[in-house]
Structure 1
């Protein structure tokens, strides 16, 4: 049971340290919406989502009011649409009509985002997968709340380099489609290695085929809480530092567990997982980079950054798993550039480069996230960056991801504005040496030797 001391402590975290529940995400299986007729597919999808999620926003707001816990977003994730539309969709434009339906349903029930305009192609692409992928730029440009993801590799299967090459082209095309808004379409598109089935965070959320018909997943976030706790042990040993992070992560996860259980009870939908990721925002005092500075770095990106991030990520997981029986999703520290003012400051100071961020992704929860790059970056260069990140995930048996934003018409020294939780970002330089001969080889990078577990 949560006692009065914990309640008072939690209230302080909420009022002064930016603690929030970042999202309640309702996962919905659309497998029963498969049909050979496209109009019936769209009708079934709209009907199922609007029925299943009709009370989601209301319940989230009620819990927030009653417990005094900010719940920033209410979201939906659905079964990867490449699986659902395959029988009915014959062109990319056909798939885009499903994106329209998802967006319409999201508006109807009032959620912030809906994820699952996705394809899983780590070993190969079906014709449906390729059609969906080619529809992504069109779909993201004409919808407001739809998020898209593509899983390109895994430890078990290797990396689908044909899909990696294609996604470099698709990301550039999505940037071009939305160039009037600083290529904002790319902020809703992420590529993965080892994508989890139960991630509640956007843009990568989808409802995996191993999940129940409906499920409630909650994502908590508290970088400001961790930083405030570490201020009290400044100069202490690593043992004290680690214990402090673990205890703080435990408290943050307890809040998520409470909200998840209550949302599950009120909606009559099973509780899935709590994702205990430290997800920053552009707000001052809500930064993962600031935690790294509190650990002892002048800026994120200074020597020692990867070690500090590894420590932080591990202690967050250790503390969180003691607070909830079902921890899942990504769970750890996110390092998006545009969504973290400390990261933006580090880039602006010259302390943080794309190469250092890549090194940091070896030990963090996600990968190269919300990074704005010059709009004239070649598609093969983007594919090369993706391939590097997929390799890190594959070899280290962890989730990695890439969300790059080539901002059309802008270059290094310029700034991109995305607004809200997506923030703003300086345009970062990209290595200009060519990798096209590598990217254009075609085929698959095989799984590493340690993937053979059977």
Structure 2
């Protein structure tokens, strides 16, 4: 059992080191909302989310006051909408009506994001999947809180290159639709390989079809806590370094476990998982890049960065899994450029490139995340970058993702302000050479030989 002593032990981490619970995410199955009538689907979706989520924000606030633990976000994840709307939606515009309903109910229950405007197309696309994907630019331009994701590949199925090509075009179209806001729509759109069913973090959260009717998932975060702990062992050997990260991750995850158990009890909804990812914010001292610097790098991106990140990720997992009954989601270290001041500094110092970030993907939680690129980047180039990331995930049996933001009207050297947790980002250069003939081949890249384990 978790006791109040453990909570008091975290006071210093909360007050001085930016420890927080990044999100309580309520996962809701909408499979029982499927109907052949679009009007009925919208009604059922609205009513079910309203009923289950009406106390989510107040519950989070209660826990925050009771234990003094900051809970930054309260969010909702739902069954991929391509499945929910398949029987009723005949056009992309039909799916947009569902996006509007999701946005309305998210606003009314008070959450900051609702994730699951999604399609799972790792092996092929149904007509409904394709319609949803084609509706994404409009849906994200007319909503404020809806987040969208598309899973394009997996270790078991390979990579759906038709969907990869389409998503390059959709990302660019989303950028155009929201160009008056510096292409902000792309910050709410992520593509995956090996997407998990229980991820509480946006923009990639959705409620998988293997999940219960409703579930509480919690994402914790404490880059500042880890950095401060490592300052005390500066210059020590790797054994001491690893033990320090493990012990710190254990303490951070225990806080998340407590919040998850309390939220589950108060709402009468089962506890799902703790995602023990190190998720940075733009706040000074809340940076994964600064942890890498404390480990011994001048900047993130210097030689040794991938090794340092691999060490960090592994020790966070080893410490975290001992602290919670159920660990899931992504669980590791996030390296979003715009949301991490240390990453931004590394880009501005020319220490960190798109290619180095891709290499770091091999050992971290997600991938190329919250990266601003020139607005005139070709759709085929975006598709090629997505394919590279999917290949890393597919071959290494891990989750990888891409959240690129081609900022219309901006070029290398410009800076883009997204605001809030999304931060700001320097526009990064992309390789100018074409991959169009590769992307246009069509079909599927087969699953790797080690995927055959039956």
Structure 2 length-normalised TM: 0.99
CA distance in 2, matches of 1:229, 1:170: 43
Does 2:108 match 1:108? yes
SS of the equivalent of 1:75 reads strand
Aligned residue in 1 for 2:325:
325
Unpaired runs of 5+ residues, structure 2, are none
Superposed CA deviations along residues 343-367 of structure 1, whole A, max 9, x for unmatched, are: 0000000000000000000000001
Cα distance between partner residues in 2 of 1:412 and 1:7: 46
Provide the residue aligned with 2:121 in structure 1. 121
Secondary structure at the aligned position of 1:8 is classed as helix
Quote the residue 1:435 is aligned against: 435
- CA distance in 2: counterparts of 1:7 and 1:52, whole angstroms: 28
1:11-410 correspondence to structure 2 within 5 Å? 11-410=11-410
Q: Deviations over 1:77-123 (max 9, x none)?
A: 00000000010101100000000000001011000100000000000
Partner secondary structure for residue 428 of structure 1: coil
State the 1:409 CA deviation: 0.1
Q: Secondary structure at the match of 1:285?
A: coil
**Secondary structure, aligned partner of 1:248:** helix
C-alpha distance in structure 1 between counterparts of 2:429 and 2:211, whole Å: 40
**Displacement of 1:2:** 4.1
How many equivalent residue pairs? Answer: 454
Please give the secondary structure, in 2, of the residue aligned with 1:332: coil
Instruction: Quote the Cα distance in structure 2 between the aligned partners of 1:185 and 1:214.
Output: 28
SS of the counterpart of 1:219? strand
Q: How far apart in 2 are the matches of 1:44 and 1:147?
A: 20
Q: CA 1:181/1:351 → structure 2, altered by over 3 Å: closer, same or farther?
A: same
Alignment partner, residue 7 of structure 2: 7
Deviations for 1:231-258, whole angstroms, at most 9, x for unmatched residues?
Answer: 0000000000000000000000000000
The alignment yields a C-alpha RMSD, in angstroms, of 0.6
Residues 140, 146 of structure 2: 8 Å contact kept: yes
Q: Hey, what's the Cα distance between the residues in 2 that align with 1:2 and 1:291?
A: 28
C-alpha displacement of 1:213: 0.1
Are residue 453 (structure 1) and residue 430 (structure 2) matched? no
Q: Distance in 1 between matches of 2:172 and 2:8?
A: 49
> Is the 2:7–2:255 contact (alpha carbons within 8 Å) kept by the matching residues of 1?
no
Gap change, CA 1:167 and 1:204, over 3 Å in 2 = same
Q: Is the 8 A contact 2:7 2:67 kept in 1?
A: no
Deviation at 1:406, TM superposition (A): 0.1
Alpha-carbon displacement from aligned partner over 1:186-214 (angstroms, at most 9, x marks no partner): 00000000000000000000000000000
Q: What SS does structure 1 have at the residue aligned with 2:363?
A: coil
Residue of structure 2 equivalent to 1:416 = 416
Cα pair 2:2 2:258 within 8 Å, conserved: no
CA distance, structure 1, for counterparts of residue 204 and residue 3 of structure 2: 36
For 1:197 and 1:308, the matched residues in 2 are separated by: 28
Q: Secondary structure at the match of 1:410?
A: coil
Partner secondary structure for residue 373 of structure 2: strand
Task: Measure, in 2, the Cα distance between the counterparts of 1:4 and 1:262.
Answer: 13
**Cα displacement string for residues 55-84 of structure 1 (whole angstroms, at most 9, x for unaligned residues):** 000000000001000000000000000000
Contact 2:152 / 2:159 at 8 angstroms: preserved in 1?
Answer: yes
Cα deviation code 1:242-296 (max 9, x no counterpart): 0000000000000000000000000000000000000000000000000000000
Partners in 1 of 2:197 and 2:416 — Cα distance? 31
- Displacement after TM superposition at 1:4 (Å): 5.8
User: Alpha carbons of 1:206 and 1:3: their partners in 2 closer, same or farther (altered >3 Å)?
Assistant: closer
1:358-387 C-alpha deviation (Å, 9 max, x unpaired): 000000000100000000000000000000
CA shift for structure 1 position 325: 1.2
Contact in 1 for aligned 2:174/2:185 (Cα 8 Å): yes
5+ residue gaps, structure 1: none
Matches of 2:282 and 2:261, distance apart in 1? 29
Task: Please give the alpha-carbon distance, in whole angstroms, between the structure 1 residues aligned to 2:5 and 2:114.
Answer: 37
